[in-house]
Amino acid sequence: MDFQFTEEQLMIRDTARDFAEEQIKPREMEIDETGEYPRDLIMKMAELGFLGMIIPEEYGGSGLDMVTMCLAAEEITKASAAVSLTMGLHNSLVTLPIIDYGTEEQKKKYLPKLASGEMLGCFALTEPNAGSDAGNQETTAVEDGDYYVLNGRKQFITNGPVADLAVVFAATDRSRGPRGLSVFLVEANTPGFQVGTIEKKMGILGSPTSELVFEDMRVPKENLLGKKNRAFRVAVTTIDGARAGVAAQCVGVAQRAMEEAIAYSKERKQFGQHISGFQLIQGHIADMAVMVESARLLTFKAAWLRDQGKPCGTASAIAKLYASEICTKVAHKAVQIHGGYGYIRDYVVERLYRDARIMELYEGTSEIQRVSIALDMLKH
C-alpha cells in the first residue's frame, strides 16, 4: 500500500483544515450550547464542494475517492463532530446508494441538488423495533397503481428535521423478512411525510435527530431505488462503504482530544512542574498516540479497499469498531488529564467526551461489528 497522498488529496485536506479552523472552531462551543443546526456552515461546505465529494463530476460533484473524503472528514470533525456528521451522512448514506443503484433519471434529478446543497438528505432505516435487526422493518410499502403507499415510523434519523430527501426503507413483502424490503427516494414535501419527535441527546447537539412518520404517503414507482425486494443488499453495501467515513470521524474526535490533552499538560503545573513531566501523564499520551494512529491506518485501509473496488465490508467493520472504541478511550484519557476541569463545559474535552459516545452506537453497534467480523473469519 502506498502511504503517500496525492497533491490533490493534500490540498483538499488543507482546505478542510482551514475551513474548520477559521469557520467552525470559533463557533464550536456555541453550536453545542444552543443545539441549533448551523445551516450556514453546511451551505459554506457545499460551496467548497464538501457535500458532493464522491458524486461524479457529470452530476455536479467532485468525483473524488473515499480516502479523500476521510481526510476531509477527520479535519472537519476535529472542530465539530456535529457539523462533520452532515457532511459524512450526505457523502455516504445518501449519495452512495443513488450512485450505486439509481437509474440515470434519479441520478440526474437528485445528485446535482445534493452536491450543491440545494437538497439535504437523510437515511431512514432505523425503526423502534429495527435497530441492529435492520431487516425487521415494520414500515410497509403497498403497490397502488403507479404509486407505493408507505405507512410507518422511523427513529433516530440524523438530519430528519432538516432533510429535503430521505432514503427510506420499507417492507414490500413482510413475509420474506430481509428479502422483502425495498428502498425509496422520498422528498420531504410529499403529503403524508411528517417529522415526529426531535430527540434530546447526550452529544453531537448541533446535528438534529428525529422520528419520521409516514401516513398513507404516496411515492411514485419511479422513486423505487434499485429493484423491488432487494433493498437489504442496498443497505448492507451502503453501510459497508459508509463505515470508513464514520471511522474517520472517530479519528477526528480522538485526535482533537489528544491535542487538547497535550496542550493542557504543558500548561498545568502541579508539585512545582508542568504535569507533562510526569511519567503517568506521558504514559497516557503515548497510549493515545498509538490508538489514534492505529485507528487512522485502519480507516484508510478500509477506504482504499473500497476505492479499488475490492471487498471492504470486514475492513470497514474492523476500522469502525476499533476507531469508535478508541475514540471514547482517548476522550476519557483527555478528561482524566484535565482533572476536574475536564468535567467543566468551558473545556473542549467535556464536549468531545459526550460526542465520542455515539460513535460506538450509530451505523452498527460495536456488538454488530464483532458479529460481522467473526462471521467473516469463520468462513475461512
Specify whether 240 is located in the same domain as 374.
Answer: yes
Q: What is the pLDDT along the chain (380 residues), one digit of tens a residue?
A: 677 999 999 999 999 999 999 999 999 999 999 999 999 999 999 999 999 999 999 999 999 999 999 999 999 999 999 999 999 999 999 999 999 999 999 999 999 999 999 999 999 999 999 888 888 899 999 999 999 999 999 999 999 999 999 999 999 999 999 999 999 999 999 999 999 999 999 999 999 999 999 999 999 999 999 999 999 999 999 999 899 999 999 999 999 999 999 999 999 999 999 999 999 999 999 999 999 999 999 999 999 999 999 999 999 999 999 999 999 999 999 999 999 999 999 999 999 999 999 999 998 999 999 999 999 999 87
CA angle (322, 327, 333) in 5-degree steps? 125
* CATH number of the CATH domain containing 55: 1.10.540.10
Distance CA 342, CA 348 (A): 8
* CATH number of the CATH domain containing 258: 1.20.140.10
* CATH number of the CATH domain containing 184: 2.40.110.10
In the DSSP assignment, the letter for residue 377 is H
Distance CA 61, CA 195 (A): 29
User: What nine digits make up the cell of 38?
Assistant: 448551523
| Annotated active-site residue in 28, 325, 360, 363 | 363
Count structural domains, the chain.
Answer: 3
In a domain, 1, yes or no: no
Specify whether 186 is located in the same domain as 251.
Answer: no
Is residue 306 a contact partner of residue 330, using CB atoms and an 8 Å limit?
no
211 labelled catalytic:
no
Specify whether 141 is located in the same domain as 160.
Answer: yes
Distance CA 316, CA 293 (A): 16
Residue with cell 444552543: 34
- State which residues form the domain around 41: 7-120
CA angle (25, 259, 292) in 5-degree steps? 110
Burial of residue 267, with CB atoms counted within 10 A of its CB: 0-12 exposed, 13-18 middle, 19 or more buried: exposed
